[in-house]
Structure 1
Amino acid sequence: MARKIGSRYTANQILGRGSAGTVWLGEGPEGPVAIKLLREDLASDQELVGRFVQERTALLSLDHPRVVGVRDLVVDGNDLALVMDLVRGTDLRTRLDRERRLAPEAAVAIVADIADGLAAAHAAGIVHRDVKPENVLLDMQGPLGPGGSHPALLTDFGVAKLIDSPRRTRATKIIGTPDYLAPELIEGLPPRAAVDIYALATVLYELLAGFTPFGGGHPGAILRRHVTETVVPLPGIPDELWQLLVQCLAKAPASRLRASELAARLREQLPTLAGMAPLDVDEPDTEPDPEPEAAPAAPKEPVARRGAVPLVPGTTPTDSNRDTHTSMRVPAPDELAGGARGTARAPRAAGAPRPGSARHRASARRRRITLGVAGAVLAAAAGIGTWAAVSGDNADATPNKNPEHSAPESP
Structure 2
Amino acid sequence: MIGKKLVNRYQILERIGGGGMAVVYKARCTLLNRIVAVKILRQQYSIDEDFVRRFRREAQAAASLSHPNIVNIYDVGQDKDVYFIVMEYVEGETLKDLIDREAPLEPARAVNIVRQIANALYHAHCNKIIHRDIKPHNVLISKDGRVKVADFGIARAVTTTTQTFSPNSLMGSVHYFSPEQAKGKLATEQSDLYSLGIVLYEMLTKTLPFDGDSPVSIALKHLQQTIPPASRYNPAVTPGLQAILDKLLEKDKSQRYQNAIDLLAALRTWNSPEAAEAAEADGKAEIDEADTQVFMPLVSKKKQWLSQVGKKRLLTWSIIILSVAAAVTLAVLGFSSLAKLWEVKEIPVPNVVEQSKEAAIAELETVGLQNYSISEMHHDTIPLGYVVRQKPTANQIVKQNRNIELIISKGPVLIDVPGVEGLDVRVAESDLQAKGLKAARTDEYSEEHAAGIVIRQDPIEGMKLAKDQKVHLVVSSGPRPFKMPNVIGKTLFEAEEVFKDLMVDVRRAWNPRQGDSPGGIVTDQTPASNEDVKPGDIVYLYLRPFNKIVKQVEVLLNPLVESSVKIVVKDAAGEEIVFDESISGRFSYTHTVTGWETGTISVYVNDGLVDKISF
TM-score class, shorter: 0.5 to 0.7
Q: Hey, what does 1:20 align to over in structure 2?
A: 21
Distance 1:218 1:53 in 2: 31
Q: TM-score, normalised by structure 1?
A: 0.60
Q: Hey, what does 1:61 align to over in structure 2?
A: 64
Shift of 1:232: 0.9
**Counterparts in 2 of 1:371-386, with a 5 A limit?**
none
Q: Hey, what does 2:106 align to over in structure 1?
A: 103
Q: Hey, what does 1:2 align to over in structure 2?
A: 3
**Counterparts in 2 of 1:146-161, with a 5 A limit?**
150-161=145-156
Alignment coverage as a number of residue pairs:
260
Q: Hey, what does 1:120 align to over in structure 2?
A: 123
Q: Give the 3-state SS of the residue equivalent to 1:180 in structure 2.
A: coil
Q: Letter of the aligned partner of 1:26 in structure 2?
A: A
The structure 1 residue matched to 2:159, chosen from 151, 155, 164, is 164
The structure 1 residue matched to 2:85, chosen from 82, 85, 100, is 82
* CA separation of 1:25 and 1:239: change in aligned 2, threshold 3 A: same
**Counterparts in 2 of 1:160-239, with a 5 A limit?**
160-168=155-163, 177-235=173-231, 236=235, 237-239=237-239
Distance 1:51 1:41 in 2: 15
Q: Give the 3-state SS of the residue equivalent to 2:63 in structure 1.
A: helix
Distance 2:198 2:86 in 1: 28
**Counterparts in 2 of 1:44-59, with a 5 A limit?**
44-59=47-62
Q: Letter of the aligned partner of 2:71 in structure 1?
A: V
* CA separation of 1:80 and 1:256: change in aligned 2, threshold 3 A: same
Deviations 1:162-185 (A, max 9, x none): 22334448xxxx897111000111
Q: Hey, what does 1:393 align to over in structure 2?
A: none
Shift of 1:33: 0.3
If each structure's strand is expressed as a fraction of its own residues, which one has the higher value?
A: 2
Q: TM-score, normalised by structure 2?
A: 0.41
The structure 1 residue matched to 2:40, chosen from 19, 37, 41, is 37
Shift of 1:20: 1.4
Q: Hey, what does 1:375 align to over in structure 2?
A: none
Q: Hey, what does 1:367 align to over in structure 2?
A: none
Q: Letter of the aligned partner of 1:188 in structure 2?
A: G
- Runs of 4+ displaced beyond 3 Å: 165-169
Q: Hey, what does 1:244 align to over in structure 2?
A: 244
If each structure's helix is expressed as a fraction of its own residues, which one has the higher value?
A: 1
Distance 2:63 2:251 in 1: 33
Q: Give the 3-state SS of the residue equivalent to 1:22 in structure 2.
A: strand
* CA separation of 1:24 and 1:246: change in aligned 2, threshold 3 A: same
Say if 1:130 and 1:176, in contact at 8 Å, map to a contact too.
Answer: no
Say if 1:93 and 1:134, in contact at 8 Å, map to a contact too.
Answer: yes
**Counterparts in 2 of 1:387-402, with a 5 A limit?**
none
Q: Hey, what does 1:136 align to over in structure 2?
A: 139
Shift of 1:95: 1.0
Distance 1:48 1:191 in 2: 19
Q: Letter of the aligned partner of 2:150 in structure 1?
A: T
Distance 1:218 1:99 in 2: 27
Give unmatched runs, 5+ long, in structure 2.
165-169, 274-615
Say if 1:139 and 1:151, in contact at 8 Å, map to a contact too.
Answer: yes
Q: Hey, what does 1:301 align to over in structure 2?
A: none
Shift of 1:100: 3.1
* CA separation of 1:175 and 1:53: change in aligned 2, threshold 3 A: farther
Percent identical across equivalent pairs? 34
Distance 2:251 2:65 in 1: 29
Shift of 1:260: 1.9
* CA separation of 1:11 and 1:54: change in aligned 2, threshold 3 A: same
Say if 1:113 and 1:263, in contact at 8 Å, map to a contact too.
Answer: no
* CA separation of 1:69 and 1:12: change in aligned 2, threshold 3 A: same
Deviations 1:48-67 (A, max 9, x none): 22123323442121001110
Deviations 1:192-232 (A, max 9, x none): 11111000000000000111112354332211110001111
Give unmatched runs, 5+ long, in structure 1.
143-149, 273-411
Deviations 1:280-316 (A, max 9, x none): xxxxxxxxxxxxxxxxxxxxxxxxxxxxxxxxxxxxx
Shift of 1:38: 1.4
Distance 2:64 2:97 in 1: 29
Distance 2:272 2:157 in 1: 40
Distance 1:252 1:153 in 2: 28
> Which of structures 1 and 2 has the larger relative contact order (alpha carbons within 8 angstroms, sep 6+)?
1
Distance 2:215 2:57 in 1: 32
